Amino acid sequence: MSEESIRTYLGTVERQLAADGCGPRWEQWGGSPVLIGRRADFRMRWAATKLHLFTVATAVPEITVQTVEGFTAQALRYAKTNKGGLPVGFQTGLAVFPVLVSDRVDPAAMAWAEEKQRNQFGCFARPVVVDAANGYAGYYQGKPMVGLAYAAHLIEKGDLYFRSAPVA
HEC secondary structure over 37-90: EEEEEEEHHHCCEEEEEEEEEEECCCECHHHHHHHHHHHHHHHHHHCCCCCCCC
pTM (two decimals): 0.87
The per-residue pLDDT for 110 is 96
pLDDT digits (tens, 9 = 90+) for 76-126: 999 988 876 655 555 667 889 999 999 999 999 999 999 987 776 678 899
| Whole-number Å distance between alpha carbons of 116 and 151 | 12
Calpha distance 19→161 (Å, rounded): 10
pLDDT at 14 over 70: yes
Rounded to an integer, the average pLDDT of 138-158 is 77
Q: What is the pLDDT of residue 94?
A: 86
pLDDT in tens, 29-87: 988 999 999 988 765 555 556 778 999 999 999 999 999 999 999 999 999 888 766 55
Higher pLDDT, 143 or 58: 58
Distance CA 153, CA 151 (A): 5
Task: Give the C-alpha separation, 130 to 126, whole Å.
Answer: 13
pLDDT for 82: 84
Confidence of residue 1 (pLDDT cuts 50, 70, 90): very low
Average pLDDT along the chain: 84
| CA 96 – CA 48 distance, rounded (Å) | 20
